[in-house]
Each structure stands twice: as C-alpha cells, then as structure tokens.
Structure 1
C-alpha cells in the first residue's frame, strides 16, 4: 500500500464498503487539496478519477483488495480487503493519521 491514493482508498472502505469512482475521486481530491468535498473543482476531481481508473483501481483489483464494476463504476471491498484494512488500522497512527481520519469522515461534513 505504498501510494497515498491506494492507501486512502482502502481507508475509505473502513467507513463505507461501497463507493462510486466519482465519489471516491471527489473525496481524495478534497483530502489532497485540503478543502471540503463540495469545493472540489471538476479539474481536481477528474485528475484523481483518471489516476484511480487507470492505475490504482486495477492494481487493487489484481491484488484482490477491491472489486470494480465497470458498468456502474462501483468499488466494493473484496476477499483480501479485511487483511489490508486490519494492517492499515494497525499502522494508521504512525503512517498517516490525518489521511485515515479524513478518509473515515463523512462526505460533505462542511456542507450543511
């Protein structure tokens, strides 16, 4: 789980076991730009979306961590997710506590 986006994606599965690729790209872009989800620009979201779609999602699918439904663009936890999530929880505080905290927070917390 070397890449921050892959690690972040896995942290989000601790909060909710199903995500659309667009929602996940929005959440990651918000974290990377230190802004609320609703302030993410289309360009910021698209940059993360393309990276997830072409690099990170296929790698995590190959490793059995997530499944990806091309038709609905939905990501769900797969057979190896529990093992990876347990490892991330165990090292979360020392690796990137702010990343885990943000990933596990509700989307659009700042929008009320």
Structure 2
C-alpha cells in the first residue's frame, strides 16, 4: 500500500481512478501538470505535459503496474484498474487527507465539477 501511495504523482493517478477507471497517459499527464502548476488544464503548456508524461511513463505507471494497482496497454497508452486497485483506492479514501490534503481537495473538486 505504501509503495503505491508513497509518491504524490502515484496518489494523483489513484485519485483519478476514483473518478473514472480508464485514462490515457496524455490525459493523466495534462491533469497532473495542471495540478502541479496550479493552472487549468487548458493552460498546460506542451513542455509541462511532456515532463510529467515522461515521469509517468518511465517511473510511476510501471510502479503501479508492478503493484497490481493499474494495467497499462502499451498500444493505446491507456491505464485501467487492476486486481489490487480496490484495496489501494479504499485506503486512499480512508487516509487521503492525511497524505496530502491539497492534492485530495484538488482531485475531488475536479470529480465534483464533472458530476455537475
């Protein structure tokens, strides 16, 4: 559990999985770049998105795949939930605020915006 939730970008991926169980790597990179730069998604520059994308592709996605939290389809560059996702997502909901309350607030506010 700690390995999956130990890094802010990995937690953010998990928060997005609470919203929807399938994401393209580009969508995730855009969302995370917006969050990290405190800007709306439409203002994310290509260099910001690319920096996050590279980090996700080479470090964070493989880590979450190894932990069984997500599955990654190389052909479509899409992540989906995997066998251990429910456990990690339940833990994230239970302890999210103590890990990073700003990140949780940001992720959940976007979820609420989509529901409206």
How does the TM-score come out when normalised to structure 2? 0.88
How far apart, in 2, do the equivalents of 1:50 and 1:8 lie? 16
Residue 50 of structure 1: aligned partner: 54
**Are 1:17 and 2:12 matched, yes or no?**
no
SS of the residue 2:68 aligns to: coil
How far apart, in 2, do the equivalents of 1:89 and 1:77 lie? 16
The aligned length equals 107
Name which structure has the greater RCO, CA cutoff 8 Å, separation 6+.
Answer: 1
CA drift of 1:93 comes to: 1.7
Cα displacement string for residues 73-93 of structure 1 (whole angstroms, at most 9, x for unaligned residues): 000010100000000100112
Which of 77, 84, 107 in structure 2 is aligned with 1:103? Answer: 107
**Structure 1, unaligned runs of 5 or more:** none
SS of the residue 1:35 aligns to: coil
How does the TM-score come out when normalised to structure 1? 0.91
Residue 96 of structure 2: aligned partner: 92
Name whichever structure is richer in helix by fraction: 2
How far apart, in 1, do the equivalents of 2:32 and 2:59 lie? 15
Q: How is 1:52-67 mapped onto 2 (pairs within 5 angstroms)? A: 52-67=56-71
**Are 1:7 and 2:15 matched, yes or no?**
no
**Structure 2, unaligned runs of 5 or more:** none
- Contact 1:27–1:103 (CA<8 Å) still a contact in 2? no
SS of the residue 2:34 aligns to: helix
